Amino acid sequence: GSDAPAGEASRGRRLAESAARVIPGGVNSATRYIGEPYAFVSADGAYVTDADGRRYLDYHAAFGAMVLGHNAPVVNDAVRAAVDGPGLIGLGVSELEVELARRVVEVIPSAESAISTMSGTEATFQAVRLARAVTGRPYIVKFQGGFHGSHDAVARNVISAPERAYGRDPLSKGILDPALDATLIAEFNDLASVRTLLDRHPGQVAAVIMEPIPHNVGALVPTQEFVEGLRALTAETGTVLIFDEVITGFRHALGGYQEVCGVTPDLTTFGKGMANGVPIGGLAGRRDLMEHFNHTGGDVLLAGTFNGSPISSAAAIATIDHLRANPDFYERTHALGQRMRDGLSAIVADLGIDATAAGFGGVFALYFAKGPIRGYRDLMRNDNSAYVAFHRRMTEAGYLMLPMALKRNHISGAHTAEEIDATLSAAADVLAGMRKD
Ligand code: PMP
């Protein structure tokens, strides 16, 4: 695929080598680079082009930061206008950050009040600290399969091997044991596992934090009974229910997955697609909780030089306004997602491969395991190496997906039915080839 003359390193390879001399490992985020391609030089709608001029149909979407498609003109124009207007001012309050909060309160069912951060990690960090401060309790519960950013309170047991499922399985060295031990691990779609933890630590659990669909392990869709049960259980025990909608927010419905399932959490975190590629995070929820951030009367510190950035706010406003004005975005992406899932299901059934297409809305995953895939134990049956082989061959064919098994792929507002069908026909060839090997 490279247009470099034979015998010469590709431009991407040369960039990777020079990057590794000044950036550890050549990347600024651990999952950025796994194999080729290394660097991208342009992006437009559903397509991206790598440093060697190769074009890909993109389902990676910068881990889901793209919702409308790359370089959506409405968003980029709004960013340019913000640069020319309030610019980078962060000394007082910009009208843009107020306008953004107003929109979040209007469209998100659980949002009575909202703050802006610069990343999803900061949003979940603030949510967990707020829950601990308000309840005066030390523990939080997270689920196997849930990822909520890199900070210490949530950086464990994202998807543990069975022997470490309930042991301490940190994402990183350097985290103090007491921080890890204050995070308890439950199983998604298993209400009893949450009840057990709440019973074992009565009056000691500050919050349950969950991705309403854990897209960090593909797409475990919650049963209605599970989300409603969690709501009832947390309400009964005075535990703060946090929906981490960093991926699901704005993508699956304007009001997030909470709008889809009709269950209202106490706090909600946002990030990624909210500003269609411009850095942002957010936290919204019950006013009585959020008022603890009130610097004139509250007791929880909220600080961040770039919080409420006019540039990020402008991008988020433009994204939300575009989605509000074009509700058919959801019909379209949900239909294209279904077309992809149905197509993949038919291909693997035809070929007799033990694989399962899963997902919700415009998000799809291909598990290399017999379905249904509902929870942690089902994920353990996945043949991760088969996905890695599938990913590599799809990349070679010009289709960019997330490189790790147990992740998801994204259909944006810029994808078309023709592109889904072309992807399916490439996937059919790739899967047939894999079966032969
Ligand atoms: N929550 C979820 C559900 C995420 O997927 C991520 C990022 N993958 C985060 C939080 C952290 O967001 P950020 O990378 O912006 O810090």
Cα distance between residue 268 and residue 58, in whole Å: 28
Distance CA 372, CA 295 (A): 48
CA dihedral 248, 111, 128, 220 (to 10 degrees): -20
Per residue in 66-105, pLDDT (tens digit) is: 999 999 999 999 999 999 987 777 788 999 999 999 999 9
Are residues 25 and 119 located together in one domain of the fold? no
**145 and 101 belong to one structural domain:** yes
For the stretch 285-306, pLDDT in tens is 999 999 999 998 999 999 999 9
pLDDT at 231: 98
* Tens-place pLDDT, residues 19-45: 999 999 999 999 887 678 989 999 999
Residue 253 lies in a domain: yes
- The C-alpha R_g of the chain, in whole angstroms, comes to 22
Longest dimension (CA), the chain: 67
117 CA from centroid of ligand 1 (Å):
12
| Domain harbouring 264, CATH code | 3.40.640.10
Tell me, yes or no, whether 310 and 369 share the same domain.
no
pLDDT over 70 (residue 7): no
* Co-location of 100 and 242 in the same domain: yes
On whether residue 2 sits in a domain, the answer given is no
Same domain, 251 and 263: yes
Residue (of 423, 419, 412) closest to 362 by Cα position = 412
Q: Based on the domain organization, do 51 and 84 belong to the same domain? A: no
Say yes or no to pLDDT of 5 above 70. Answer: no
Nearest residue (CA) to ligand 1, atom 2: 148
Q: 211: CA distance to ligand 1 center in Å?
A: 10
Residues 237 and 278 in one domain: yes
One domain for residues 48 and 99: no
CA of 148 to the centre of ligand 1 (A): 5
* Closest ligand 1 atom to 211 CA: 3
Looking at this protein, which amino acid is placed at residue 107? V
| Confidence bin at 122 (pLDDT 50/70/90) | very high
Question: For ligand 1, atom 1, which residue shows the shortest CA distance?
Answer: 148
From ligand 1's centre to the CA of 120, what distance in Å?
A: 5
Q: Which of residues 275, 302, 325 is at a domain's end?
A: 325
Which of 269, 272, 280 gets mutated to test ligand 1 (max ligand atoms within 8 A of its CB)? Answer: 272
Average pLDDT along the chain: 95
pLDDT of residue 2: 46
Distance CA 43, CA 58 (A): 9
Residue nearest to atom 10 of ligand 1 (CA): 148
Q: Is 8 a residue whose pLDDT tops 90? A: no
Q: What ipTM was reported for this prediction? A: 0.99
Answer whether residue 404 is part of any domain: yes
**In terms of domains, do 332 and 387 share one?**
yes
Instruction: State whether 375 and 318 are in the same domain.
Output: no
Q: How far is the CA of 147 from the centre of ligand 1 (A)?
A: 7
List pocket residues of ligand 1, CB cut-off 6 Å. Answer: 63, 119-121, 124, 147-149, 211, 216, 244, 246-247, 271, 281
What are the strands of the beta sheet with 40-44, ordered from one edge? 40-44, 47-50, 55-58, 399-400
Q: Are residues 152 and 281 in the same domain?
A: yes
Q: How far apart are CA 330 and CA 412, in angstroms?
A: 10
Domain termination residue (choose one: 294, 325, 356): 325
Chosen domain end from 325, 359, 391? 325
Write the CATH number for 360.
3.90.1150.10
Question: What's the domain count of the chain?
Answer: 2
Express each pLDDT in 168-216 by its tens digit: 999 999 999 999 999 999 999 999 999 999 999 999 999 999 999 999 9
The answer to whether position 205 is within a domain reads: yes
pLDDT digits (tens, 9 = 90+) for 246-256: 999 999 999 99
Q: Are 304 and 122 in contact (CB under 8 A)?
A: yes
From residue 25, how far is each of 22, 29, 31, 154, 228 by CA, in Å? 9, 10, 11, 24, 44
366: in domain = yes
Asked if residue 3 is part of any domain, the answer here is: no
Query: Is residue 205 domain-shared with residue 301, that is, in the same domain?
Result: yes
227: containing domain? 73-325
Within a domain: 158: yes
Q: How far is the CA of 293 from the centre of ligand 1 (A)?
A: 22
pTM for this model (two decimals):
0.97
Tell me, yes or no, whether 223 lies in a domain. Answer: yes
